[in-house]
Amino acid sequence: MAIQRKSNIRILDGNQAAAEAARLSRVQVVAAYPITPQTPLTEQLSQYVEQGELQAEYVAVESEHSAMAVCTSASLVGARAFTATSSHGLAYMHEMLHWAAGARLPIVLACVNRAIGAPWNVLNDQQDSISQRDTGWIQIYCRSNQEIIDTIIQAYRIAEQVFIPVMVCYDGYILSHTEMPVAIPDQKDVDKYLPAYKPHTSLDPSDPKNYNLVTLANPRVGVDGKLCHGYMELRYLLQEALQNSRETILQAGEEYSQIFGRDYANMFWEDHTEDAEITVVAMGSLAMEAIVAAKMLREEGIKVGVLGLRVFRPFPKSDVVRALRKSKLIVVFDKNISYGSEGATCSEIKSALYGTYINASIRNFIVGLGGRDVKAHELADATKKAIASLKETVINPDYPEWICQI
């Protein structure tokens, strides 16, 4: 189907792309606290509001914890809310992330991935968002600035359909401060794609309600005689919503491609996986570097494919199994570490493969922490090292290797 491209192309860095996406999504409340490397994004949004280009309430808060509290309140009265943060800011927001998800509020958060101290470091890795893995948010990672603008718009569509907040993650500096050509969607098309937010419930003085009160261990009957959920039933519903969100994510991606001509009907990106004997797995901008590495290896006759993780929560287990079905070796690069275990995405891949017929060896490398540069040839060399290690017949080493100078 021929798609008429109505978009205009501009040179934007990742933060500008995210701000543009929030503006096009017609967010009504922005509450954010500046933190490196997210700062230019909040500056851009406050400028949009100041200049009347975005009809929104910009709430200048004193902390990230308050930023998410404001977004939670705004969302509960029916406003489309947006925030953005990084690193320590996201960590400080941790408690309220649970509240947003538990209250089932479709807030979108741009997480500009940055390392966490100690020691202080303002550069990129993915430890910040991975540390928030279990807060009940959908997490989607971007590989380019085009994906940032497209993903934030899709994030509202997804969030407001399944009533789960969405964290859109992109790598600090590598994307946030690097300019690339970005096709800007037309406002009319975005309006068509993204209908007005309809809350599942709304705080309204004319119909007073209690929200998220102290719940006891068991369900109880409300004053209207209805048996209402206890804590555990509500937690079940959040898990059920995450489990069922795959279809909505794929549909949002499919409809996006129909309107804007860029295909997002996937849970992860695949590059030459059809005949791959070795699959390299990476998430975020690292997946782009892995494609360059795979190309280098293919030139040497090694059949390498790349699985670029996009949706980390919900984790697409059966899709991953399908993509890895021909792999003899899986090499997972993680820009995070679950201390005492391994990289978080490696654990997910292993979990997905358990009990399937795939009996591939897995090798995990920790790379790029705190902004350490990851070059394509380093990924290629690590993959070759993983191939050589197959002689040792260890399918699943206990711990990952680190690419550093220790």
The burial class, CB within 10 Å (0-12 / 13-18 / 19+), for 148 is buried
Decide if residue 206 touches other proteins (CB under 8 A): no
Residue (228 or 404) nearer to other proteins, CB: 228
**Among the candidate windows 16-24, 234-242, 310-318, 380-388, which touches other proteins by CB under 8 A?**
234-242
Decide if residue 47 touches other proteins (CB under 8 A): no
Helix (H) or strand (E) holding 108: strand 108-113
State how far the Cα of 180 lies from the Cα of 199, in Å rounded to an integer: 35
Q: 34 is written with which tokens?
A: 């500046």
Task: Tell me which of 4, 51, 206, 210 binds other proteins, using CB under 8 A.
Answer: 210
Min dist CB 222 to other proteins, Å, is 5
State how far the Cα of 289 lies from the Cα of 306, in Å rounded to an integer: 10
**Among the candidate windows 40-48, 125-133, 209-217, 284-292, which touches other proteins by CB under 8 A?**
209-217
Residue (163 or 269) nearer to other proteins, CB: 163
Decide if residue 234 touches other proteins (CB under 8 A): yes
Task: Tell me which of 51, 217, 226, 359 binds other proteins, using CB under 8 A.
Answer: 226
Q: 340 is written with which tokens?
A: 């005492």
Decide if residue 102 touches other proteins (CB under 8 A): yes
Min dist CB 129 to other proteins, Å, is 24
Task: Tell me which of 55, 187, 212, 239 binds other proteins, using CB under 8 A.
Answer: 212
State how far the Cα of 391 lies from the Cα of 94, in Å rounded to an integer: 44
Q: 167 is written with which tokens?
A: 């964290």
**How is 7-30 classified by DSSP, letter by letter?**
PEEEEE-HHHHHHHHHHHTT-SEE
Min dist CB 153 to other proteins, Å, is 24
Binders of other proteins in range 105-164 (CB under 8 A)? 163
Quickly count: other Cβ atoms within 10 Å of residue 367's Cβ. 24
Decide if residue 229 touches other proteins (CB under 8 A): yes
Min dist CB 244 to other proteins, Å, is 12
**How is 217-269 classified by DSSP, letter by letter?**
SS-EE-TTSPEEP-HHHHHHHHHHHHHHHHHHHHHHHHHHHHHHS----SSEE
**Among the candidate windows 106-114, 218-226, 287-295, 378-386, which touches other proteins by CB under 8 A?**
218-226
Residues that bind other proteins (CB under 8 A): 102-104, 163, 200-201, 208-213, 215, 219-220, 222-224, 226-231, 233-234, 237, 241
